[in-house]
């Protein structure tokens, strides 16, 4: 899943994982767990999380590799929060090739900035997450557009990009995601890789009465 902070990766990742009965691996959760347990990794990354900076690629990749290795040969996984840089995307692809488990789908959750800020500030009031203050939120969003969003083009070229309008309520977004994934599953299970094409569902917003230009 590739999405800006506040787009609903955690919620939708859980929906997908439950539906397909596969593990949900969220790098943000793994990192926060390290911080809470005060591990060596936790102490090294806490400052990055508090400031809304990206943790160095090597730290994330080592953590993700360790999480994926026991799942080799299984039914798959949902990766949430990674890759966040092009370097992570390439490294992750190489890890996945080694395991013969490359991504079938790159799921992009598209949400307007104003809605993201609104959701993140609401979450801050509920959870007190250290990186959900307005300044840090703006910084995380800017980082997303600078270094994470460009990865989508790469997945588009690979023909595995599914982009969903996630401005709507979580249950409607979840239904749309599962419908798209179920359809794609048939292609992935049967079709040759070369037949895969990028799918963009963001314009479906118009079908639900959203004004044009606001996907």
Residues engaged in binding ligand AMP (CB under 6 A): 5, 27-28, 31, 48-49, 52-55, 60, 81-82, 84, 88, 131, 140
Helix or strand (DSSP H, E) at 13: helix 9-20
Q: How far is the CB of 186 from ligand AMP (least distance, A)?
A: 30
Coil/strand/helix, residue 121: helix
Of 9 and 168, nearer to ligand AMP (C-beta) is: 9
Q: How far is the CB of 16 from ligand AMP (least distance, A)?
A: 15
Name residue 80's beta-bridge partners.
26
For the beta carbon of residue 31, count every other beta carbon within 10 angstroms. Answer: 21
HSE, CB side, 13 Å, CA atoms: give it for residue 115: 15
Of 131 and 165, nearer to ligand AMP (C-beta) is: 131
Phi, psi of 172, deg, nearest 5: -65, -40
Q: How far is the CB of 59 from ligand AMP (least distance, A)?
A: 8
HSE, CB side, 13 Å, CA atoms: give it for residue 184: 23
Of 107 and 184, nearer to ligand AMP (C-beta) is: 107
Q: Are 61 and 54 in contact (CB under 8 A)?
A: no
Residue with tokens 């040759």: 192
Of 45 and 160, nearer to ligand AMP (C-beta) is: 45
Q: How far is the CB of 187 from ligand AMP (least distance, A)?
A: 28
Q: 19 exposed, middle or buried (CB, 10 Å; 0-12, 13-18, 19+)?
A: middle
Of 60 and 184, nearer to ligand AMP (C-beta) is: 60
Q: How far is the CB of 110 from ligand AMP (least distance, A)?
A: 16
For the beta carbon of residue 93, count every other beta carbon within 10 angstroms. Answer: 15
- Which residue has the CB atom at the shortest distance from ligand AMP? 28
Of 138 and 196, nearer to ligand AMP (C-beta) is: 138
Q: How far is the CB of 127 from ligand AMP (least distance, A)?
A: 11
CA 16/CA 23 separation, integer angstroms: 9
């Amino acid at each position: 899943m590739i999405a800006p902070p506040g787009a609903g990766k955690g919620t939708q990742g859980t929906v997908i994982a439950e539906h397909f009965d596969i593990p949900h691996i969220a790098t943000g959760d793994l990192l926060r767990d390290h911080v809470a347990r005060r591990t060596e990794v936790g102490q090294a990354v806490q400052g990055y999380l508090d400031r809304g900076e990206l943790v160095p690629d090597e730290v994330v990749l080592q953590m993700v590799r360790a999480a994926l290795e026991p799942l080799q040969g299984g039914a798959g996984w949902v990766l949430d929060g990674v890759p966040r840089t092009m370097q992570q995307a390439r490294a992750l692809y190489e890890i996945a090739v080694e395991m013969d488990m490359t991504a079938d789908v790159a799921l992009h959750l598209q949400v307007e900035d104003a809605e993201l800020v609104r959701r993140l500030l609401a979450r801050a009031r509920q959870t007190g997450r250290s990186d959900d203050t307005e300044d840090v939120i703006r910084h995380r969003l800017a980082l997303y557009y600078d270094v994470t969003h460009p990865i989508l083009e790469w997945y588009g070229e690979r023909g595995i990009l599914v982009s969903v309008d996630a401005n709507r309520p979580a249950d409607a977004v979840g239904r749309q995601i599962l419908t798209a994934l179920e359809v794609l599953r048939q292609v992935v299970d049967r079709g040759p890789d070369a037949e895969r094409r990028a799918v963009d569902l963001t314009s479906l917003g118009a079908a639900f009465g959203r004004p044009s230009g606001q996907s």
